[in-house]
Amino acid sequence: MAKILINDGIHPDGKAALVAAGHEVVTDKIAQEDLPAQLPSFDAIVVRSATKVRKELIDNCPNLKVIARGGVGLDNIDVDYAKDQGRQVMNTPAASSESVAELAFAHFLGLARFLHHANRDMPSKGNTEFKTLKKSYSKGHQLRGKTLGVIGIGRIGQETAKIGVAMGMNVLPVDLFIKEVNLDIKIAGTTVTVNLPSVSMDEMLASADYISLHVPSTGKAIIGTEEFVKMKDGVIIANPSRGGTIDEDALLAALNSGKVAGAGLDVFVNEPTPRADLLNHPNVSLTPHIGGSTVEAQRNIGMELADKLNGFFS
């Protein structure tokens, strides 16, 4: 059986499944700077986004057989190098898809109805300026009938598209590799299959009222000044994918000009210290990288990790 370090946490059910299989499971977090000294005694490490597993750490741990990531993105792991060194790299691409998609729509709905402002104003002004606030926040929009652009139509993008279709939106996927998807949408006990062909980025940008990003980190922005110019005026954007997929300078300029009416951001370039001018912009809805952080998603992640690790070490 294996000695496994769970360095960024795991759902209790996932830990229990590993322990039941006979593994020694350590969940006391080891600081990044202390990992080179302590990780060599482990057979596997499980991380989320906080812990980095880079080349130097991999070289320092010859007994390490598995590097597992609870979640989708692997940008905090030197994946290619790890594989070249014969280490197994795992992640849980499906476990949190629904939670991330729902967060994108939480931002969309909040921005469309100014909830990020109303929730601040009501406690301080609600009992003295109720009618004024009602007038101020009575020009929101509904999502039904609007066009949703989904950049990246993998597992999370497909879950986002399903919500959009179910809400009556026209959905335009953009993906370099996937030409079309068939979405199985469960409604009132019935499954409805909807076919969505991918469109070009330019076609989507010109048509979308709402845009959601679901792409891995590529080292450069997917949305920058050129893309903002091509968008409709008053577009609303959500980014629950990775910091850096939107050029933050270009986003601020688009927000200040009114080209972008609102942005829902769960990820940032300089996490965990995002830039203050973005955090304080009045037309930005904010969450601290919690896309996959629901009780249901965390259990799914924990159980999927346990299944994969148990299978590897069996």
Beta bridge partners of 149: 172, 211
- Across the beta sheet with 3-6, the strand order is 24-26, 3-6, 44-47, 66-69, 88-91
Catalytic site residue from 248, 281, 289, 304: 289
Task: For residue 242, indicate whether it is catalytic.
Answer: yes
Which of 84, 104, 92 shows the shortest CA–CA distance to 68?
Answer: 92
Write down how long the chain is. 314
Task: For residue 11, indicate whether it is catalytic.
Answer: no
Catalytic site residue from 159, 242, 248, 281: 242
CB 262 within 8 A of CB 285: yes
Task: For residue 289, indicate whether it is catalytic.
Answer: yes
Cis peptide before 123 (omega within 30 of 0): no
Catalytic site residue from 116, 271, 275, 299: 271
7: left (phi over 0), alpha (psi -120 to 50) or beta: alpha
CB 255 within 8 A of CB 236: no
User: Would you name the residues annotated as active-site residues?
Assistant: 242, 271, 289
